[in-house]
Structure 1
Amino acid sequence: MIRLTTQYTPAGTSYLVTGQGRPVVLIHGVGLNKHMWGGQIVGLAPHFQVIAYDMLGHGDSPRPDANGGLEAYAEQLRELLAHLNIASATVVGFSMGGLVARAFALEYPEHLDALVVLNSVFNRSPEQRARVIDRTRQAAEHGPDANAEEALSRWFSREYQAANPAQVAAIRQTLASNDPQGYLTTYELFATQDMYRADDLHSIQVPALIATGELDPGSTPQMAQQLAERMPRARHAVLPEQRHMMPVESPRLVNQLLLDFFQQANSLCNPAKGVLA
């Protein structure tokens, strides 16, 4: 078991870091925190320097400015990399973290080696947009755990929920313990920014992987394909029978997907040894 100590940047961002090698940054989803990545930290740390952090409004990081937009979340990551003296990194974003990763790729391309977007949103249908806007209203009225039961049923398979009740309960507690204003500011962006700078996505020139689960109802395979088609060096992948929280429910499967992609991205390989740097 890897035991890590939470550290902080000068701006107050809470983060964990472990491992050696080229840096890989993990960005969690709305309502969650850096600890969702436990399975990926264990799987990736033997090969990379792995950094997981709490996005604005979550965990131990400060609240976002209500008017800062996705750019404020991208700036948070830039400040974290500067604090760690990292010139560029591979960025992996899950769900809302995928929107942040996209914003970072557009705002700070010079600091990006490769991009992974997991279970994220793009080009919602009117019906999908209406549902997420309704959930935003519920969160504004009743707080971060207003629709926790519904969320958990979307996120996890029934088999996983039955076999891992303590893990599911811990995630529900994480949702409930969010700062209400920080959560709402973030969720409003998650609900409305699926087409953030969509016409500029062609400018993302790094290798990119856009992946989701076959059974993810909110971050669909069609979304992953459409997003990948906007980026010249992107490919998309759909993991069979997986739902939204596949990094938590199936960490080995997701880790293998990530390691295969990293190995294919030349900048993350050590040709002399033929193994991941």
Structure 2
Amino acid sequence: MIRHTAERTPAGTSYLATGEGPPVVLIHGVGLNKEMWGGQIVGLAPHYRVIAYDMLGHGASPRPDPDCGLPGYADQLHELLEHLQVPAAHVIGFSMGGLVARAFALHYPQQLQGLVVLNSVFNRSAEQRAGVIARTSQAAQHGPDANAEAALSRWFSREYQAANPAQIAAIRQTLAGNDPLGYLTTYELFATQDMYRAEDLGSIQVPTLIATGELDPGSTPEMAEQLARRIPGARVTVLPEQRHMMPVESPRMVNQMLLEFLATAHTRPNPIKGIVA
């Protein structure tokens, strides 16, 4: 992975930015941080200005207010773009980052050029909802790494885990090192906000890609299809034989998909100006 020196916004958000061209923002998943995007930074930076940051409660960014909700996470991205003097960007959100990206699209449409939601959740079934609520309770009782082994089994193929033990160990350490309160606040939103303003998703008017892995048990192809049906013109891509952490496990495949989408999306102007929902 290419190492960059992280910087901070006035509000304390830790971020890194590299490359030149149309700006692309990367939002990580719950329990992770901006370092998960190493493969995408390498693949996208020759063509785009890539901005990756630590979500509230993660990495070197501050804790969220306990009652800030998804709008507070959208506000964090707004403040980051204002600090960088970026009028509008393509936003790529992974898992929990996909919920943040959706919230940003609804609250700050004038700052959005394109939207990519990777391996994220929408309209969980009763069984899926019960499972994630149970994991939230375990995290509240035992800390951020309470479900680490089960999570890694969901996230990665057995072959990848066996071939990359050092990387798996590093991710396990990242999970364990999370601030407990920041992690729990974020995980509770991840567990409960899959239908956040679902009735308003039809207002999103930028090029949109919804993608997941064929074998992703928590962010299923069915979820991707349902979400895409709510957003006008959204595309759906299901990558074969991929599990949840496909940006890490298969960066070349994911990068090819992203580059193909961005090549067409960044040429289209943002039709929404000056509207804040």
TM-score range, shorter chain: over 0.9
Deviations 1:8-37 (A, max 9, x none): 000000001000000000000000000000
Moved segments of 4+, more than 4 Å: none
**Aligned equivalents of 2:48 and 2:262: distance in 1?**
10
How much has 1:263 moved relative to structure 2? Answer: 1.3
Given the alignment of the two structures, is residue 147 of structure 1 paired with residue 147 of structure 2, yes or no?
A: yes
1:274 alignment counterpart: none
Q: Distance in 1 between matches of 2:71 and 2:263?
A: 30
CA distance, structure 1, for counterparts of residue 231 and residue 129 of structure 2:
23
* One-letter identity of the residue aligned with 2:18: T
Q: 1:55-74, aligned counterparts within 5 Å?
A: 55-74=55-74
CA contact (8 A) 1:213 1:243 kept: yes
- What is the distance in 2 between the residues matched to 1:103 and 1:55? 14
Deviations 1:90-145 (A, max 9, x none): 00000000000000000000000000000000000000000000000000000000
Rounded to whole Å, the distance in 1 between the matches of 2:232 and 2:169 is 41
User: Which residue number corresponds to residue 105 of structure 1?
Assistant: 105
Equivalence for 2:245: 245
> In the alignment, is residue 24 of structure 1 matched against residue 24 of structure 2?
yes
**Distance in structure 1 (CA, Å) of the matches to 2:267 and 2:12:** 31
CA RMSD of aligned residues (A): 1.0
- Paired residue type of 1:172: R
Deviation by residue 1:175-198 (Cα, 9 ceiling, x = unmatched): 000000000000000000000000
- 1:11 corresponds in structure 2 to 11
Q: Would you say how many aligned residue pairs link Structure 1 and Structure 2?
A: 269
Partner residue of 2:223?
223
Output the TM-score relative to the length of structure 1.
0.96
Specify the code of the residue in structure 1 equivalent to 2:99. L
Give the percent of matched residue pairs that are identical in Structure 1 and Structure 2: 78
Partner Cα separation in structure 2 for residue 13 and residue 3 of structure 1: 18
1:265 positional shift = 1.6
Determine the structure 2 residue equivalent to 1:208.
Answer: 208
Distance 1:130 1:85 in 2: 42
Identify unmatched segments of 5+ residues in structure 2: 270-277
In the other structure, the counterpart of 1:162 is 162
Distance, in Å, in 2 between the alignment partners of 1:44 and 1:199 is 33
Tell me which residue corresponds to 1:46: 46
Q: How far, CA to CA, are the matches of 1:195 and 1:176 in structure 2? A: 28
